[in-house]
Amino acid sequence: MKAAVLHGPRELRVEERPRPAPGKGEVLLRVGATGVCGSDLHVVNGVSPEPMAPNPVLGHETMGTVVAVGEGVQAFQPGQRVGVEPLIGCGQCDFCRSGNYHLCTRLELIGMERLGGFAEYLVAPQDKVFTLPDSVSDEAAAILDCVAVAVHVLNRAPLELGDTVVVLGGGTIGLIIAQLAKARGAARVVVTDLSERRLALAREVGADEAVNAGSQPFEELKARLGGRVDVVIEAVGGKAPTINQALQLVRPRGTIVFMGIFIEPVPVDLWQALRYEVTIRAAWSYAYHDMKREFATALELAAGGQLKLDPLVTHRFTLDRVAEAFAQAGRASEAVKVVVRP
């Protein structure tokens, strides 16, 4: 099969690789669509804070069609369209056993430690594979991982009816968070970004306001929101000054949830947090919320039609052009979600 193998920073090559075979309890998929994640960009650019597997085949936002099943798999048959939850804990530690496998110190990712979706085929354990209804398109299914991250963010945010929410960052996850915040009963959802294309999309998917954080002075935004922001979601990361912006915007005793991946330590004005008793919470990946998997919740939201996911996919490439896909995803002013269709 063809697979995009990462040999070093910015050295992504499409090569022939042996097609994987499904082991006991595993499902073999022909990959249909795989999203380029911001974290994939960090890995390819050599700036990811996470440890990197040797020569990985990336692609954790992925879906496909079952072509074969391993021993003991009864719930799936060839021909079924399925989504893939890429997070695989060790299954043995207290975090895994308590349904918090995203916190497992031996967490593996389909698309890092295991072969991912920038390839023609992949294998996944059967309990990480979800049957897709016809109402979820291939491209929407590829970004279910982003929806699940957004679901986890909302589960970590103490959002009340009538709240004002600011989402810093109008990438794929930020735009899903904005939609979920409205669905949860926020009265006012404001999205900030530097890209006019993303801001237009924010309005299209239901944000009440979309603010260009580059062209509008921050002080103006702060004055307009008047210290009444109940929850700020940080969805940028990188090297951005967004945590301190969040501290400027949030009301006393408000909450900041951050999920952007910071690629270097950023200074945080903890005096501001102390003076106004602000809660700062991290939201990392997803797992279970109460008795239910957040990926299953994401799939139900997508299937139920409450979420606008298809408009978030702005660019499509074949596997041969995966390097172009990454270049396009890096141009954040133009792209939201870039998808590779092997």
3-state secondary structure of 46: coil
3-state secondary structure of 224: helix
CB of 295 to Zn ion, least distance (A): 12
- What are residue 62's DSSP bridge partners? 34
Binding map of Zn ion across residues 39-78, x = CB under 5 A, - = no contact: ----------------------------------------
Largest CA distance in the chain: 62
Q: Interface with Zn ion includes 96 (CB under 5 A)?
A: yes
Residue of 47, 52, 67, 90 interacting with Zn ion (CB under 5 A): 90
**H or E element, residue 144:** helix 144-156
* Phi-psi region at 277: left, alpha or beta (left = phi > 0; alpha = psi -120 to 50): left
Question: Which is it for strands 337-340 and 229-234: parallel, antiparallel or unpaired?
Answer: unpaired
Residue of 89, 111, 171, 260 interacting with Zn ion (CB under 5 A): 89
Nearer to Zn ion, 68 or 112 (CB): 112
CB of 259 to Zn ion, least distance (A): 11
- Which listed range, 1-9, 34-42, 197-205, 312-320, lies at the site for Zn ion (CB under 5 A)? 34-42
Q: Are 128 and 76 within 8 A, CB to CB?
A: no
Q: Interface with Zn ion includes 12 (CB under 5 A)?
A: no
Q: Interface with Zn ion includes 87 (CB under 5 A)?
A: no
Q: Interface with Zn ion includes 151 (CB under 5 A)?
A: no
Q: Are 1 and 121 within 8 A, CB to CB?
A: yes
Residue of 5, 53, 93, 303 interacting with Zn ion (CB under 5 A): 93
Residue of 29, 104, 124, 186 interacting with Zn ion (CB under 5 A): 104
CA separation for the pair 15, 1 (Å, rounded): 8
Using CB under 5 A, count the residues that bind Zn ion.
6
- With vertex at residue 179, the alpha carbon angle to CA 176 and CA 184, rounded to the nearest 5 degrees, is 120
Q: Is 26 exposed, middle or buried (0-12, 13-18, 19+ CB in 10 A)?
A: buried
Q: Interface with Zn ion includes 140 (CB under 5 A)?
A: no
Nearer to Zn ion, 225 or 312 (CB): 312
Q: Are 208 and 145 within 8 A, CB to CB?
A: no
- Which listed range, 43-51, 81-89, 237-245, 255-263, lies at the site for Zn ion (CB under 5 A)? 81-89
Residue of 29, 37, 181, 231 interacting with Zn ion (CB under 5 A): 37
Residues forming contacts to Zn ion in the complex (CB under 5 A) are: 37, 89-90, 93, 96, 104
